[in-house]
Homo-oligomer: A and B are copies of this chain.
Amino acid sequence: MRAEELTALRGLRLFAGIAEATFNDLVAAGYLQFFPPGVTLIHERDPADFLHVVVEGMVELYASAGGRETSMELVRPVGVFILAAVLSDQVYLQSARTLTRARVLMIPAERVRRWLAQDAAFMSAITVELSRSYRQAIKALKNQKLRTGAERLANWLLVAAEAQGADSVMIDIEKRVLASYLGMTPENLSRAFATLGPHGVAPHGARIQLTDRTALQRFAGPDAMIDGIE
C-alpha cells in the first residue's frame, strides 16, 4: 500500500486515536484488492467475515426483497461498510457491489473483534462511527417517509452543490443508481428533473445547472436533521 493511502486510512474516524500497533496489525491482517466494476463483494444473508474499507473507487450498498431491489448507500473513499454486522457477528442486511473499478481493504472480522476488546480507543472510535451510521440511517428513513421524490432529488442536488462548491452539479454515478438511491424509478427521476425545471434546475446530461439556488431551496425545504452530514 502506498504511503499516502496509509495516511488516508489512518485518518479514518474508525482509526482515530487508536494505538499504532493496533492499526498496523489490522492493516497487515487485511487483504487489499482491486475489483473491476460490477463485482458483488458481499451478499445479504451471508455471515459477516470481513470489515470492508473502500480505499479507491465507489461501492454501492443495496438490498433486495420480494423481487425488488433498492440502493441503500454509496460508499466513497475512505469509507467503511457493514461495521455493525462485523461487530455483532451477524449476517449482512445489505449486499455490496463495485460501481467502478475499486480498491477495497478487507479486514477479518475476527481480528476486528479481538482488537476491540484490547484497545479501548478502538472501541471508542467504533462507537463514534456506529453512532454516526445509525444517525445516517435515521435521516435516510425520515427522508423517505417525509418527502416526495422530487423533494428528495432537490435536497440531494443542494447537498451535492455544496460539496462540489459550484453552481452546477456533476453526477458521477449512473442516473438509474441515483434513482434507486433516492427511492424511485429511473423514469420518475427524469420526471422529477422536469418538475424541478421551474425551480432553477437545468439538466445537461450528467451536469445539472442550478440557475436559482434560492428558488430550489424554497422548493426543497432543506433540513439539517435530514440532510446534514456528521
Contacts and interface: CB of A to CB of B under 8 A. Distances in A.
Interface string A52-77: 00000000000111101110100000
A39 interface: no
A103 to B, nearest CB: 25
Nearest to A45: B225
A154 to B, nearest CB: 11
A27 to B, nearest CB: 22
Contacts of A69: 146
Given A93-B138, A141-B72, A226 B123 contact: no
Interface stretch (A18-26, A128-136, A166-174): A128-136
A230 B87 CA distance: 14
Contacts of A64: 146
24 contacts: A63-B142, A63-B145, A63-B225, A64-B146, A65-B147, A65-B225, A65-B226, A66-B147, A66-B151, A68-B146, A70-B145, A72-B141, A84-B131, A84-B134, A85-B135, A93-B135, A116-B127, A120-B123, A123-B123, A126-B127, A130-B130, A137-B138, A141-B141, A145-B183
A72 B140 CA distance: 12
Interface residues of A, number: 49
Contacts of A132: 88
A110 interface: no
Nearest to A124: B123
Contacts of A187: none
Nearest to A91: B225
A139 interface: yes
A98 interface: no
